[in-house]
Structure 1
Amino acid sequence: MSERLFVFDTTLRDGEQVPGCQLNTVEKIQVARQLEQLGVDVIEAGFPVSSPGDFNSVIEISKAVTWPTICALTRAVEKDIDVAADALSYARHKRIHTGIGTSDEHIQYKFNSNREEILERAVAAVKYAKRYVEDVEFYAEDAGRTDNEYLARVVEAVIKAGATVVNIPDTTGYCLPEEYGRKIKYLMEHVDHIDRAIISTHCHNDLGMATANTLSGVQNGARQVEVTVNGIGERAGNTALEEIAMILKCHRQMGIETNINTRRISATSRMVSSLMNMPVQANKAIVGRNAFAHSSGIHQDGVLKNVSTYEIMDPKDVGVDDTSIVLTARSGRAALKHRLSVLGIDYDDPGKLDKVYERFLRLADKKKEVTDDDVLMLAGADRKDSHAIKLDFLQVTTGMGVRSVASIGIDISGQKFEEASTGNGPVDAAIKALKKIILKQMTLREFTIQAINKGSDDVGKVHMQVEHDGHLYYGFGANTDIVTASVDAYIDCINKFKTAG
């Protein structure tokens, strides 16, 4: 008989800590609903005390989803717990996730404290959270570097205080798989009444071992995994939800099952990538665009004879359908709406669908085929409709042996402005012309171009980082014209100058 593994998704909390990937409340609700359809058991919706935005997001996500448990993060601080409880007031199933650092590094340098005091604070936080909710999860931050004997004392104490789940994070991604597995096994064997709580993994990918460590934890008794879609998260990221789900599906002999509907993995991955403006690397396991591609002649020959020679998964099991509808300039609204739905985006408002369809036709006229990534880019374009500063027109003259010249038109809250400038290349000229209109001190710190596929008619994505008034702002643009995409990304940064204040 298979054992049940609970999937705790922290894409909207730990995943959203990636610089430049913050979502607004509407976008978070969209992701939360997709996670519910995917089948995750717990959605960590935010850290309510950290900002009014996070507080409001936890409230709205609690209203928007039905069966998953909604979790709110806190420190071992009474005010944090009070605010989290308020934010969870609408959740049908609610959990407070509280905790404190337990490694000597955290105890000494972060808290300037000692082990006994930290133990007391841990117990007090769990007892305080228990006043509000029955389901309390405790995290022992930096458990990966915490002495096992002391960690066992903390785990035993918080379970006695009422913790229903105990999270053993490898916060710095330091552990080796064998080492992390032994840590979980030690707790299973040395903590009295450990059967009263679920032991959870939360592994970071600093050394590229997050998935291996998580799997080792599961093999040694952990029955909850804390993961993110596409493995996004702080620094090098977290354990990827899709990797754990498919490892267990492929290795059924382990006798461990999740509630994940794996056929929704690809759509969820693309939605998160698009909304967070975080491209998925082409060779990413499970969800990368090359995950089921074969270029080697030997591999191609083997796959043609029998797909099992080089494929251990059916692409359809993760939602990759080779027979999908091909979108071109001759496709109608129904085909576009179907593809959007497959990708996890549903439009109840016909007016919004009409706007996306208009953009779709303009793009389809330029390309032979519109890809899923293109469709997601088009669907996300309406997020910029409310921006105060918009690009009206852009004309660039450039070539070999001549200096690039750019003319630009900008709409600022309904007022039209035009400027021109020369530069060291078309992008430089266009941005210099833009700066003549936007008279602010700003410096370009990062400029990344990514083509979605390989065609010369493809949409290019541009990610920018601009410094203004001592702060960094992240912008994104996408267009078949890379200069236009670059200016859009720069304007996206500028629009955030005001909203950040």
Structure 2
Amino acid sequence: MQSAPVTKYRPFPPVDLPNRQWPNRTITRAPIWCSVDLRDGNQALAQPMSVEEKLEYFEMLVKIGFKEIEVGFPSASQIEFDFCRRLIEENRIPADVWIQILCQCREDLITRSLEALHGAKRVIFHLYNSTSPAQRRYVFNAERPAIRDIATHAVSFLKSRMAPLVAQGTHIRLEYSPESFTSTELDFALEVCEAVTDIWQPTTAEKIILNLPATVEYATPNVHADQIEWMCTHLTRRDRTIISLHTHNDRGTGVAATELGMLAGADRVEGTLFGNGERTGNLDIVTVALNLYTHGIHPDLDFSDINDIREVYERCTRLEVPARQPYAGELVFTAFSGSHQDAIKKSWDTRKSTEPWDVLYIPIDPADVGRSYKAIIRINSQSGKGGVAYVLEHEFGYQLPKLMHKEIGRLINDLADATGRELTAPEIHDAFQQEYLQRTAPVVLETFKTTERNSTVKCDAKISIDGQARKLTAEGNGPIDAFVRALAETALPKFEVLSYAEHSLGKGAEARAVSYIQVKTERGHTLFGAGVDTNIELASIKAIVSALNRTLAKR
């Protein structure tokens, strides 16, 4: 990097827009969406999709709900041409879907593109030419009038040559893009767009689409919004124009630029699923659409099975959705932080289904996009007690008493520290069972039965201590009290029961009972034991033995 001061680069100039309105507006509806996955995203792949893969991808886009789909650049290659023909000849395009094709402002390419469209019902013919000063200087070596003439001549040529298709029933709409719009002087971008519109002669019923692309993202999102609002307020036929956005992500703010562009007056958004595209990619439509959804605005796109969409995307493009990609990434509904886990669990447990979604750290219900609740909290050495309790409850059904959370959390954290990695749910379950349910030393419960005597309960138990059998008997106000009194007659450490909780584990004929007993030792230490049995009484007695064995293990 250059040392300060940085003279190699220059700041992007601001837009003179003293009465800008977009900062005070609110998005209230979804835009018109256009997927450009099959062209912009496909051409960015190291191994472009085959025709069969593109057909599968097209069907997925239709299922999601896209009504405008850019299917390719049929004049650029034979595979693009063939794909367009197959869609049309095999009647794969639903009646309410517009296919869009891209074409440079050249007569031969326009002619070839029209050949690819024979038999199509609804077509958006997307013409573009570069307009920025750098393009004019380095690529075309031309001044403004010549660049404007490229656009207007192409539109005139298209109008003159599309008549046979229109006569056969093809409905053609025009989309025009001054490529590198955001790098073009606004007055010249307006001049070219107005000249194109003059020739096309749109109406309020048959509007022209003026696409204003941030072909390379150079400015902050607020400057992009200023550029869009400037165009919206200076167009002479705004009521006959659909303003379309096509942002890229070179600065990492493609989503923000699009959302502010919508505030600035844009009607339509082009982008790709998960932001696939040249360099850092196109706009991620999934993110913008679900951002709207989390604000109570239906995006008119269906991402309720985001896992399936992601699978098709990854298989056809040979790309991977990053683990932290909004809404679709593997880890976006996952919390490792202990404080986050605790907050998630508390807010999740207390929420009511009739109230607006308000679970801490999770802005969208994972179920709305087909994600699983099971993946929300995962455990490593940074995790807390709430996260461990969540996993044990939602994966295995153990509803641990709140006072027990800290104890089990410390145990699992120590295990995670020792392994140096994330722990799986089965590993957490195994650790819980080994610590609480499977301890068989030094005390083993052999038999236990009770007899009611008026207002008391008598217990008769057989235990072994370090392999030595002992018979115990005592009376108490219940089975637990009687067993504790019986144990007090032995040389085992004395303790008192502080709390008791139980619940069923599973349903139906295979349901079992699980009990949790908190005890306080004669040295003042408190800890829990747990027991599981088909008999609730035996489950609680096993929990006492569990606590006793854990007490002896810590001596």
What's the TM-score, normalizing by structure 2?
0.56
| Cα distance change on mapping 1:156 and 1:257 into 2, 3 Å | farther
Amino acid at match of 1:211: V
Aligned to 2:154: 125
Q: Which amino acid aligns with 1:48?
A: P
Pairwise CA distance, 1:3: 4.1
Q: Please name the residue that 1:160 is paired with.
A: 198
Q: Which residue of 1 aligns with 2:271?
A: 227
**Offset, 1:119:** 1.0
Which residue, out of 44, 47, 52, partners 2:73?
Answer: 47
Give CA deviations for 1:98-117 in whole Å, capped at 9, x if unaligned: 11011111111111111111
Distance of 2:177 and 2:192 partners within structure 1:
10
What is the DSSP-based 3-state SS (H/G/I as helix, E as strand, rest coil) of the residue aligned with 2:99? strand
Matched, 1:317 2:358: no
Partner in structure 1 of residue 238 of structure 2:
194
> Given the superposition, is the C-alpha separation of residues 290 and 229 from structure 1 closer, same or farther in structure 2, using an over 3 Å criterion?
same
Q: What's the Cα RMSD here?
A: 2.1
Report whether the alignment pairs 1:172 with 2:233: no
- Cα distance between partner residues in 2 of 1:291 and 1:246: 13
Matched residue pairs, number?
Answer: 323
2:181 to 143, 149, 166: 143
1:258 is aligned to 2:290:
no
Q: What is the percentage of aligned positions where both structures have the same residue?
A: 29
Please say if 1:302 is aligned against 2:343: yes
SS at match of 2:246: strand
For the residues of structure 1 that align with 2:195 and 2:229, how far apart are their CA atoms? 18
Q: Does residue 1:16 correspond to 2:60, yes or no? A: no
Q: Which residue of 2 aligns with 1:25?
A: 51
- TM-score between the two structures when normalised by the length of structure 1: 0.62
Is contact 2:131–2:179 with CA below 8 Å preserved after alignment? yes
Q: What amino acid is aligned across from residue 52 of structure 2 in structure 1?
A: V
Q: Aligned partners of 1:98, 1:264: CA distance in 2, in Å?
A: 34
Residue 241 in structure 1 maps to residue 279 in structure 2: no
Q: Which residue of 2 aligns with 1:109?
A: 138
CA contact (8 A) 2:232 2:238 kept: yes
SS in 1 for 2:249: coil
Question: Aligned partners of 2:262, 2:180: CA distance in 1, in Å?
Answer: 18
Query: Is the 1:73–1:96 contact (alpha carbons within 8 Å) kept by the matching residues of 2?
Result: yes
- Which secondary structure state, in structure 2, belongs to the residue aligned with residue 287 of structure 1? coil
> Secondary structure in 1 aligned to 2:104?
coil
Asked if the contact 1:99/1:125 (under 8 Å) is kept, the reply is: no
Unaligned residue ranges in structure 1 (runs of 5+): 325-367, 370-501
In structure 1, what is the equivalent of residue 328 of structure 2?
287
Q: Tell me the residue number matched to 1:64.
A: 92
| Cα displacement string for residues 229-281 of structure 1 (whole angstroms, at most 9, x for unaligned residues) | 110001110000101101111224xxx65321121444222211121110111
Partner of 1:440: none
1:268 and 1:91 mapped to 2: Cα distance?
Answer: 27
Q: Does 1:95 align with 2:124?
A: yes
8 A contact 1:96–1:129 mirrored in 2: no
- Structure 2 unaligned residues grouped into runs of 5+: 1-26, 163-170, 203-207, 349-358, 376-423, 426-555
Among residues 71, 81, 98, which one is paired with 2:110 in the alignment? 81
Task: Indicate conservation of the 8 Å contact 1:94/1:135, yes or no.
Answer: yes
Q: Deviations along 1:26-84, whole A, 9 cap, x unmatched?
A: 11010001100101121111111111001011222343221321011100011111121
Distance change (3 Å), C-alpha of 1:209 and 1:54: same
CA distance in 2, matches of 1:269, 1:181: 30
Judging changes above 3 Å, is the alpha-carbon distance between structure 1 residues 288 and 304 closer, same or farther for their aligned structure 2 residues? same
- What is the identity, as a one-letter code, of the residue corresponding to 1:50? A
Which structure has the greater CA radius of gyration?
Answer: 2
